[in-house]
Structure 1
């Protein structure tokens, strides 16, 4: 059974849920910013970790300026503030998709709070050789949102995903509410380029779904691992494997975390 609490930081109340016992594990959500996406995964990990998930600033239960453009540095500070509030840090950090980019920001800016990082399919296409082509695609998604609305934009964006079929939606995505993500977050997220040198301060791996094939977010995971360098590990399923097969994903994530080297300091 999870318990809810809030962390007040930089003018916003960040809504959090915590369950389980053991080493601290922070789950960083992407997409629509609702940590309910991780409800199934958190429940599967609670026998091994103290699992914390949170709604990102200005999303769902968390307050903040809903008309403000996402600020990556602030997102990093929010994540660090949640870890600090638990008084059990540093924490293992897992991020998926846009949340993987934010997890990178937390790790590079606040390494003292990160015991280890598992970065699952981060959309950092500017590090790829064909990055300009992906930039054109993302610009097309944004233009579609402005001219045709959120449903059309998400349909176009989803065309770039690999291996997702019926039933791939995470628990919190049933209402299809991606307005804030597309209006104020999408462009910032997909322009993010991590500080590779800073990331070398923390034990980390990147991760790809076995069903993700050659999707852009699988390519970025492999390329980031090459640049750091660090391992790139395979996990069950596709981009949303954590929701579709939460039990297997949790077991694999546990094995990955156990294999991470200890921090040197």
Structure 2
């Protein structure tokens, strides 16, 4: 029995969707429903959080594990000789760039929305320090304080005044996708350095939200597109546009992927 966790809906060419955060596909149903009229949408759940594994122990995650898992999913769902479209946002945007660098032969087009590949930036050390501080604040004060600090870092604004510290108990952490993201995914994914040479040989499409203009991950996506000779597209909303504006976001995806 496969240890991979994914769902399939729709009809047409395969589109692999990899959710951001800790990979939990919560909130993506309206987006995948809108895409299912154009694609066979395969939604990958790297940690199985929506498939009965929420609450179970989770080790620190590596980008390569997510990308290799995505490659194995494609091996199960793709007809021989066919290739897939791939979409990942936020942390999953990092994973799909790694997938493209490792396995370009099975991919038609890869769309990465606001991947936090901040190591490509001229001020990489400063941004890495910001994410490291987010992790430390999570450990000392809990997910709300860490989330507020990260939102300020992404926006380039001053850090908020600290609220009351509320670290999570171990069982609370394992039942919270946000806590799993902050503790198991964020550290290594934001430290990832993409293989720009491999990506330039099979250029991706980078994307960022219109509401993210002037913010860290819009700048990161635009530079990643430039360094890989890839495309750059703006999408409705901000960092979570896929959840907040699913119909408009899906329409822009269809336009971008099938152009």
In structure 2, distance between residues paired with 1:23 and 1:67 = 33
In structure 2, distance between residues paired with 1:222 and 1:128 = 11
Q: In terms of mean alpha carbon deviation, does 187-196 or 152-161 score higher?
A: 152-161
In structure 1, distance between residues paired with 2:52 and 2:202 = 28
**Counterpart in the other structure of 1:243:** 243
**Counterpart in the other structure of 2:62:** 71
Query: Are the aligned partners of 1:27 and 1:38 in contact in 2 as well (CA < 8 Å)?
Result: no
Structure 2 residue 59 is matched with structure 1 residue 38: no
**Counterpart in the other structure of 2:186:** 186
Give the alignment of 1:82-121 within 5 angstroms.
Answer: 82-88=73-79, 89-121=82-114
Query: Are the aligned partners of 1:41 and 1:250 in contact in 2 as well (CA < 8 Å)?
Result: yes
**Counterpart in the other structure of 1:21:** 11
SS state at 1:160 partner: helix
Q: Which runs of 5+ in 2 are unaligned?
A: 156-174
TM-score normalized by structure 1? 0.83
Aligned length: 237
Cα displacement (A) at 1:160: 3.0
Give the alignment of 1:1-265 within 5 angstroms.
Answer: 8=2, 13-57=3-47, 59-61=49-51, 66-88=57-79, 89-162=82-155, 177-259=177-259
Cα displacement (A) at 1:49: 0.4
Q: Post-superposition, which runs of at least 4 consecutive aligned residues in structure 1 deviate over 6 A?
A: none
Structure (1 or 2) with the greater helix fraction: 2
Cα displacement (A) at 1:189: 0.7
SS state at 2:238 partner: coil
Cα displacement (A) at 1:38: 2.0
Cα displacement (A) at 1:25: 0.2
In structure 2, distance between residues paired with 1:105 and 1:63 = 25
Cα displacement (A) at 1:69: 1.4
In structure 2, distance between residues paired with 1:86 and 1:141 = 37
Cα displacement (A) at 1:204: 2.2
Q: Which runs of 5+ in 1 are unaligned?
A: 1-6, 163-174, 260-265
**CA RMSD across the alignment:** 2.0
